């Protein structure tokens, strides 16, 4: 199969490209900047933005299926930038797929599309956990709009499915773990609340497996067509154990200190105001969305993904941490 992966140079994107190549697929990546690593893999690269119709058409030439993984996922930025990448870019890709008669479309979404502030989610499933209605950040809001567009596009000519992996981690991570380690070494990490709220997360290989399984199963009329699925390790851990497990794997200082939620939320409000008024670069150290996410129970029922396309997490949390530790030791 000839597959386009958007955002192939990122953490998940590279893992998807490697796995697709390993099973004999022909892979193209659409991303903004050239990747030497993807070049070594033998991945065809098309450089451009998701809302550049000409580049998107070029990337889709000769393609049979799409895994749309690219997104603006940072914790801070202008609404226009999030909307252009996450919503306009997704719609541009869907339209180009129709024009190119592509029939399979797998979208990498996020559980944040059902974010509801401080409302806990304990074992929520796709049927009983509705989309959020009041978002404190642009990322989950625009991802929700994009996911709805993807699922609405499902029809007899184009089969679409959305996957919602929760907190992806593992070897090759250039975002989550490096930030945790940097802040832990600087003594800046705190748990919001007591750190015992349980959360889902997902080892990178399990996320890749979910995408490949969905890609193999998705076609017009398939059971999974037009639906969204929660994806995780299926082992909700207290956030204290997740964070300290990752830090221990990296030989970084563990975290014990805590911060009450009202204080963290107030700090988020102040930081957002300073960053907005001062037009500061980078991301604020705390936001309202981050305070809500880190202090609230968030774990999901993934049984529907198992029933509809056979997803079962193969790598446990403990095994994933062992593999992460070994990979970091190897350098």
Catalytic-role residue among 139, 203, 229, 300: 139
Instruction: Considering only the C-alpha atoms of the chain, give the largest distance between any 2 of them, rounded to a whole number of Å.
Output: 55
DSSP codes of every residue in 229-281? EEE--S--EEHHHHHHHHHHHTT------EE-HHHHHHHHHHHHHHHHHHT-S
Residues 6+ apart with CB under 8 A from 31: 6, 7, 8, 9, 10, 13, 45, 47, 70
Please compute Rg for the chain using Cα positions.
19
Report the C-alpha gap between 149 and 145 in whole angstroms: 6
Residue whose entry in the numeric block shows the structure tokens 């000839």? 2
CB 120 within 8 A of CB 298: yes
Whether residue 300 lies in the annotated active site: no
Contact 86, 74 (CB under 8 A): no
Q: How far apart are CA 235 and CA 301, in angstroms?
A: 10
Positive or negative: CA dihedral 127, 143, 209, 198 = negative
Alpha-carbon distance of 98 to 59, in angstroms, equals: 14
DSSP 131: P
Per-residue DSSP letter, 50: T
The CB-side HSE value for 49 (13 A sphere, CA atoms) comes to 12
Residue 57 to residue 40: CA distance in whole angstroms: 24
List active site positions.
139
């Amino acid at each position: 199969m000839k597959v386009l992966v958007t955002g192939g140079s990122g953490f998940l994107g590279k893992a998807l490209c490697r796995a697709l190549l390993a099973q004999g697929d022909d892979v193209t990546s659409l991303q903004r900047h050239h990747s030497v690593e993807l070049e070594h893999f033998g991945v065809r690269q098309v450089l451009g933005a998701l809302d550049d119709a000409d580049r998107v058409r070029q990337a889709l030439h000769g393609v049979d299926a799409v895994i749309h993984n690219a997104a603006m996922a940072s914790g801070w930025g202008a609404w226009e930038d999030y909307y252009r990448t996450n919503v306009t870019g997704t719609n541009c890709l869907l339209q180009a797929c129709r024009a190119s008669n592509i029939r399979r479309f797998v979208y990498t979404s996020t559980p944040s599309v059902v974010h509801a502030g401080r409302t806990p989610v304990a074992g929520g499933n796709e049927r009983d956990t509705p989309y959020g209605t009041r978002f404190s950040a642009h990322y989950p809001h625009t991802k929700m709009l994009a996911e709805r567009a993807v699922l609405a596009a499902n029809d007899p000519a184009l089969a679409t499915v959305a996957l919602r992996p929760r907190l992806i981690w593992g070897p090759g991570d250039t975002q989550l773990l490096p930030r945790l380690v940097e802040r832990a070494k600087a003594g800046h990490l705190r748990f919001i609340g007591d750190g015992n709220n349980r959360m889902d997360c997902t080892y990178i290989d399990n996320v890749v497996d979910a995408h490949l399984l969905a890609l193999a199963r998705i076609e017009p009329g398939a059971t999974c067509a037009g639906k969204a699925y929660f994806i995780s390790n299926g082992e909700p851990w207290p956030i204290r154990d997740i964070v300290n497990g990752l830090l221990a794997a990296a030989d970084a200082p563990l975290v014990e200190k805590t911060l009450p939620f009202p204080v963290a939320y107030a700090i988020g409000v102040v930081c957002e105001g300073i960053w907005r008024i001062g037009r500061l670069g980078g991301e604020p150290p705390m936001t309202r969305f981050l305070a809500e996410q880190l202090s609230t129970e968030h774990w999901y029922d993934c049984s529907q993904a198992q029933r509809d396309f056979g997803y079962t997490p193969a790598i446990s949390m403990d095994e994933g941490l062992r593999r992460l530790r070994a990979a970091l030791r190897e350098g």
